[in-house]
Structure 1
Amino acid sequence: MMEGLRSDEMEIHMVSSTESAEYRGLKWAVAHSSIIGLDAEWKPTVHGGGGGGGQPPPVLLLQIACRLINNNIDDKEEGVVYLVDLSERELLPSIYEMLKEDVFECRNVLKLGFRFKQDLLYLSSTFRSLGGFHTVEPYMDIAIIYNTHLQTTTITSRSRSRKRKGQNSLSSICQELLGFSLSKELQCSDWSQRPLTKDQTTYAALDALCLIHIFHVFYHTLLTQGALQSLTQLDSSASTLGLKQILQEPRNSTKILRTTVCEAVEMIRATMTKYPQRLHAVLGASLRKSSQDSIPMDYVLLQIVRQYGDKILLTESDGNPKTSRRKGKRKSSTGFTCREKRVDDTGEWHGPAPWDYLLGGDGCPKFLCDVMVEGLAKHLRCVGIDAAVPYSRKPETRELIDQAIKEKRVLLTRDAKLLRHEYLLENQIYRVKSLLKNDQLLEVIETFQLNICEDQLMSRCTKCNGRFIQKPLSMEEAIEAAKGFQVIPNCLFDRNIEFWQCTDCHQLYWEGTQYHNAVQKFIDVCKISSTT
């Protein structure tokens, strides 16, 4: 299993002009790569992906990670990733020609993606005026490879259902196979802004490069299981024989006749110790069907592609806009009639908040964080703010709205679709603009003018949002409260330490190293003047 990727191991190039050295480097790398990882980014829209009139949004950034021909698949080489800026319109014709001939339709390059069909659909729409794209071959979907050959976790009924539906995320696959967490906080960032931030470029590059590293795991899995022995047997034995002897051996000649021209040439190439340049010039030229510069795959990779490879084929129906099945007015359980409309203005807060005394509230800020900002809920609790989460794990829109109204909370979200509910715009919903949790916390504090002091820090249960009991527990009381519920570490028994218990879920907390580190973190994040 490979060690985790690090951002400092990557070589990242931003391609924004055909006159740049980065563009020339991209052309060379594509022509000399046997494996390419692909991903694409576009600006999130109100309709959750589609552009105006139901059309796919334009792709703004295309990530191309390359593994060069001369790098052995066992090498732990630095990653080379090219980020192609498709917002530069004059770049499109040259990129289109390269993608179509040297990448998507080139049989000498294996393309890796993660559920890449949607990305290809958006790319095809972006290049519609130039003819679009219809085929990617040969192709391997990392999601399918993982589900079929690489999944190592225990398969429970829940995970089996998720596996059938193909719902394993790329982040969870990276965590399991590569040992690092692929953060998706920047997935919905504004990819139209220029220049991109360093965090955005790192995130985008990792999304493409990790596909190649996961393929390496697949390769070594086949090797460990012995699946490659039959593929490499002829190649290793033929290296000591001449072409005449190979063809005279019935077993070998049969194998050669069953292979494609590309595969046969690779076997012949392994037997040649003289005139390698002449062989490459005479035979290699006949293999370059899609590009004059591409180089055939090695024999083993060809066999893997032949056995496990696939292709993406777009049809006319793939490009048709999807219409919603749910239309018209819907009535909530609180008696409100919801009229949906598209809202393009996702600007500042228009208050007052529902907890305002003028609206019959108690003056205490209360928020409801949907699944898109659930990490923000924990941060708010850490600074003493009442932050609830939805009752169910995958709530319907109506459930979110009803809960916010019933509990007099402001709904925090990054989902622009929720802003279509007109009656919530004034004082019931706020769309968080920041992407990282610390920035989101500061945004909410500033927007709603919340007063945060050091005494409030760590005063709520981060698990359930409950308050702590007013009186701390002694060690004896904590041991009694924890029986059959929670384990107290032995290292705490010899320390004079106080415990606190949540009044709702009864979770125990104590002022250890983790507590003090958390307090200092939020003092720094919220810029609180310490009283100590």
Structure 2
Amino acid sequence: MDPQNPTPLKTHLVSSTESPEFTHLTSSLTRSTIIALDAEWKPLRSHHPTYPTVSLLQLACQLGHELDSVVVFLLDLASLPFPSIWELLRDAFVSPDVLKLGFRFKQDLIYLSSTFSSMGCDSGFDRVEPYLDITSIYQHLQQKPPGKKAPKETKSLATICKELLGTSLSKELQCSDWSCRPLTEEQKTYAAMDAHCLLEIFNVFREKVIKEGILVHSSSEHHPPIVNLGLKQVLLEKFDICNKVVRMKFREAVDMVRATDVSNDISAVEGTAIVTQPRNTQPMDEFLLMVASKYGENILLGESDKKPKAAKRKGKRRSSVGYKHGQYDDDWKGPAPWDLTVGGDGHPKFLCDVMVEGLAKHLRCVGIDAASPYSKKPESRELIDHANREKRVLLTRDAKLLRYEYLIINQIYRVKNLLKNEQLLEVIETFQLKVSEDQLMSRCTRCNGRFIQKPLSTEEAVEAAKGFQRIPNCLFDKNLQFWQCMDCNQLYWEGTQYHNAVQKFIDVCKLNE
């Protein structure tokens, strides 16, 4: 299937306050009413006593209603002077004129605040408002029946993108070392897409809400436009002594004053999110105000959020059976269970657990038998028994699996690399696998099955796909060959995506050398 050709992202790496990119950033922040936020850092070991240092902050600024008006800024925090950008970011985080989007951004803000505090900005960041989490948008778009509670589990951003946008958001580089410089082009693209997709999801939500007229007159009854009110009325109407309401009314009053006299310098007031300089930003339109009122929330960090919690030791007793520390190491010593010298059939076979499921698809693309577990969350013993029964080597990144005492010699290998291409080369070199161009794309990437020996014509493929899979009409006049998996019946064809994949694995496996 041919992939869609999205408009290239307008991405700017900001590594100096003297650069044109920084000037473009400051200008865009004053013209944006929606900003998507994300951050990247070098992963730390679990229970590390300090917060990780944020290395990159992504700001996707939408300057209009269309996605082609989006500009993504990658703030290189390894190069930028923190005191010079702290106030700019703080003002953007608390500006009432800008709706901030994020995906579980509170954790990012905690790490970001810790990073800035450690670099001389004593107060760090303590809030983001108004804020809208993508999970809230997703739950609304699911159209749950009235009175039915949404499920407690929160889906990943990659899953949400797949369901709402129909595109795959690769998380392959999420755990890469973001502290290394220079950043690779792949890292820059990944980081930009992570922020940009939040705006894409919001625009899907915008279209649905406008089409259904859900928000019309829903919030205007409760929050009349401040331009029609006097200062006293803004402060007193529906007044509540609750501090939260006082801050909200005060902010509305200050906004009205700014609207009538832009030359005034509004000073900071304790307990409020008021900036110290006049803002040149444009107020949010009525739609965004209503969205923020109905679906928005605020991220507020307390003192407890700014201090890493001590690691808790779980008092579980280790079983005397089935667990033995240090039986395996990370190096493969062979022979593999498929080796002819130990009674195997000579055909390499692997079982890939969930931690290397991307590697499983890559192995299938180069014609290597790479099975997946039968269940979504298999027990360790279940994985090991599966591998033993089918004479497979279990591939994983879980070091704990190496410690089970009922492992048979040479039954498990811990993959060391993080990226799928590098993992593929690691496995090929470790097990001395032979890969040829004829093997490429000879297995079903969905289930690991083999293809039928004879290709199908277009007419045969249409018949085989009835009630199961839709073949795009644009393929009917291209005289393509179709291949069907013998196990799951999935149909494939030799379109642009196929040829691109073949060339990719020729390059990755260095088959031309």
Change (3 A) 1:378 1:309: closer
One-letter identity of the residue aligned with 2:8: D
SS of corresponding position for 1:380: helix
SS of corresponding position for 1:260: helix
Matched, 1:127 2:116: yes
Q: Hey, what's the Cα distance between the residues in 2 that align with 1:205 and 1:454?
A: 34
Q: Residue in 1 aligned with 2:138?
A: 146
Q: Residue in 2 aligned with 1:198?
A: 185
Matched, 1:387 2:387: no
Offset at residue 376 of structure 1 (A) = 3.0
Matched, 1:294 2:294: no
Offset at residue 378 of structure 1 (A) = 3.5
Offset at residue 201 of structure 1 (A) = 1.0
Q: Hey, what's the Cα distance between the residues in 2 that align with 1:432 and 1:58?
A: 23
Q: Hey, what's the Cα distance between the residues in 1 that align with 2:235 and 2:51?
A: 46
Q: Hey, what's the Cα distance between the residues in 2 that align with 1:31 and 1:519?
A: 43
Provide the identity percentage. 47
Q: Hey, what's the Cα distance between the residues in 1 that align with 2:163 and 2:124?
A: 36
Superimposed CA distance per residue, residues 284-335 of structure 1 (whole angstroms, 9 cap, x where no aligned partner): 889992241534633624454344321123345543145364755346xxx6
Change (3 A) 1:144 1:330: farther
Aligned residue pairs: how many?
478
Offset at residue 457 of structure 1 (A) = 5.0
Q: Residue in 2 aligned with 1:273?
A: none
Q: Hey, what's the Cα distance between the residues in 1 that align with 2:455 and 2:219?
A: 67
TM-score under structure 2 normalisation?
Answer: 0.72
Matched, 1:329 2:308: no
Superimposed CA distance per residue, residues 245-303 of structure 1 (whole angstroms, 9 cap, x where no aligned partner): x87xxxxx799946835546767999xxxxx8xx3224888999224153463362445
Q: Hey, what's the Cα distance between the residues in 2 that align with 1:138 and 1:439?
A: 41
Superimposed CA distance per residue, residues 83-140 of structure 1 (whole angstroms, 9 cap, x where no aligned partner): 122334x7334344443x3133444433221111222232233334334443322221
SS of corresponding position for 1:66: strand
Q: Residue in 1 aligned with 2:56?
A: 61
SS of corresponding position for 1:164: coil
Offset at residue 227 of structure 1 (A) = 1.6
One-letter identity of the residue aligned with 1:13: H
Which residue of 325, 332, 338 maps to 2:324? 338
Which residue of 212, 215, 232 maps to 1:227? 215
SS of corresponding position for 2:263: helix
Offset at residue 200 of structure 1 (A) = 1.5
SS of corresponding position for 1:394: coil
TM-score under structure 1 normalisation?
Answer: 0.70
Q: Residue in 2 aligned with 1:8?
A: 8
Preserved CA contact (<8 Å) 2:469 2:490: no
Q: Residue in 2 aligned with 1:188?
A: 175
SS of corresponding position for 1:127: helix
Structure holding more helix per residue: 1
Q: Residue in 1 aligned with 2:262?
A: 280
Offset at residue 63 of structure 1 (A) = 1.0
Task: Say which one has the larger Rg.
Answer: 1
Which is further off, 188-197 or 303-312?
303-312
Superimposed CA distance per residue, residues 167-205 of structure 1 (whole angstroms, 9 cap, x where no aligned partner): 233233334444543332322333223221222212211
Which residue of 414, 417, 423 maps to 1:433? 417
Q: Hey, what's the Cα distance between the residues in 2 that align with 1:22 and 1:360?
A: 63
Which residue of 91, 97, 106 maps to 1:102? 91
Write the mapping of 1:9-408 to structure 2, written as runs, cut at 5 A.
9-10=9-10, 12-47=11-46, 52-53=48-49, 55-67=50-62, 71-72=63-64, 74-88=65-79, 91-99=81-89, 101-129=90-118, 130-147=122-139, 149-151=140-142, 163-224=150-211, 225-229=213-217, 257=237, 260=249, 263=252, 279-282=261-264, 289-295=274-280, 297-298=283-284, 300=286, 301-318=288-305, 319-323=308-312, 325=314, 327=316, 329-330=318-319, 336-339=322-325, 351-356=334-339, 361-408=344-391
Matched, 1:412 2:395: yes
One-letter identity of the residue aligned with 2:59: I
Offset at residue 206 of structure 1 (A) = 1.9
Preserved CA contact (<8 Å) 1:340 1:421: no
Q: Hey, what's the Cα distance between the residues in 2 that align with 1:420 and 1:97?
A: 50
Q: Hey, what's the Cα distance between the residues in 2 that align with 1:462 and 1:76?
A: 32
Q: Hey, what's the Cα distance between the residues in 1 that align with 2:27 and 2:465?
A: 66
Listed as ranges, the gaps of 5+ residues in structure 2 are: 239-247
Change (3 A) 1:62 1:337: same
Offset at residue 396 of structure 1 (A) = 3.6
Preserved CA contact (<8 Å) 1:64 1:83: yes
Change (3 A) 1:19 1:211: same
Offset at residue 143 of structure 1 (A) = 0.7
